[in-house]
Amino acid sequence: MRFLSARVGPFYVWQVPILLAVLVGAGLAAYFYAPERSTAPAGGLAEGEQLVPVQRGTLTDAIATSGTVVFPMREEASFSVAGEVGEVLVSVGSVVREGDVLAQLDAATIASLERDVAKAEVDLRDAQEALVEALGEPDASEVAAADDAVTLSRRALENAQADLELTLKNTARDEADARDAIQDAMDAVQDALDVADEAAEDYAQTFVQWLGVPASAVNADLDPAGVLGALQLDLDALFDDRQVLNHELSWMEPPDDDPATLWDELVVFIWKTLYVGRLAGTCPDGPPYEGRCVEHELEEAWTGLEDARTAVDDKRAVVDDAQAALENTLGKTARDVLSAEEAVEKAENALAADEDSANDLLIETEALDVVLLRREVTVAEHALEEAREDLRNAVLTAPVSGIVEDVSLEAGDRPGEQSGQGAQQAASGSITILDPSVVEVDGSVDEIDVLAVSVGMPVAVSLSALEGETLTGEIVEIGAASSGQSDVVTFPVTVRLDVPAGLTLRDGLSAVSEIVLAQYAGELLIPTSSVSGSIISPVVRVSVDGVVEERRVTLGPSDDFWVVVIDGLSEGEQVVMPEPAAAAQGGGGAFRTVFGGGPRRPRGGGGGGGG
Lowest mean pLDDT among 31-40, 132-141, 165-174, 240-249: 31-40
pLDDT tens, 201-210?
Answer: 999 999 999 9
- pLDDT of 604 > 60? The answer is no
pLDDT tens, 157-190?
Answer: 999 999 999 999 999 999 999 999 999 999 999 9
pLDDT-derived band at 410, boundaries 50, 70, 90: confident
* DSSP letter assigned to residue 419: -
pLDDT tens, 43-75?
Answer: 578 888 999 999 999 988 788 888 898 888 888
- pLDDT of 308 > 90? The answer is yes
Task: Supply the pLDDT for residue 21.
Answer: 46
| Mean pLDDT across 447-466 | 88
Angle made by CA atoms 275, 277, 283, in degrees to the nearest 5: 105
Does the predicted model carry a pTM greater than 0.85? no
Give the CA dihedral 408, 413, 417, 420, nearest 10 degrees.
-90
Angle made by CA atoms 165, 168, 169, in degrees to the nearest 5: 90
- pLDDT of 93 > 90? The answer is no
Evaluate whether 476 touches 496 at the Cβ level (below 8 Å): yes
pLDDT tens, 466-486?
Answer: 888 889 999 999 988 887 667
Share of the chain above pLDDT 70, in %: 82
The residue ranking higher by pLDDT, 34 or 144, is: 144
Task: Supply the pLDDT for residue 55.
Answer: 94
CA atoms within 13 A on the CB side of 146: 17
Task: Supply the pLDDT for residue 251.
Answer: 66
Give the three-class secondary structure for 555.
strand
Evaluate whether 90 touches 420 at the Cβ level (below 8 Å): no
Share of the chain above pLDDT 90, in %: 36
CA atoms within 13 A on the CB side of 100: 16
Lowest mean pLDDT among 4-13, 104-113, 204-213, 362-371: 4-13
Task: Supply the pLDDT for residue 591.
Answer: 47
Which of 247-251, 411-415, 490-494 has the highest average model confidence (pLDDT)? 490-494
The residue ranking higher by pLDDT, 26 or 510, is: 510
Task: Supply the pLDDT for residue 33.
Answer: 34
| Mean pLDDT across 367-389 | 85
Evaluate whether 239 touches 295 at the Cβ level (below 8 Å): no
Strands (E) in 412-505, as ranges, are 431-434, 440-446, 458-463, 470-478, 482-483, 489-498
Task: Supply the pLDDT for residue 402.
Answer: 84
- pLDDT of 595 > 70? The answer is no
Mean pLDDT of the chain: 81
pLDDT tens, 531-564?
Answer: 998 889 999 999 999 899 999 999 998 877 899 9
Beta bridge partners, 514, equal 64, 460
Which residue type is seen at 97? R
Evaluate whether 443 touches 66 at the Cβ level (below 8 Å): yes
Evaluate whether 575 touches 541 at the Cβ level (below 8 Å): yes
List % helix, strand, coil for the chain (3-state, nearest 5): 45, 25, 35
| Mean pLDDT across 420-430 | 53
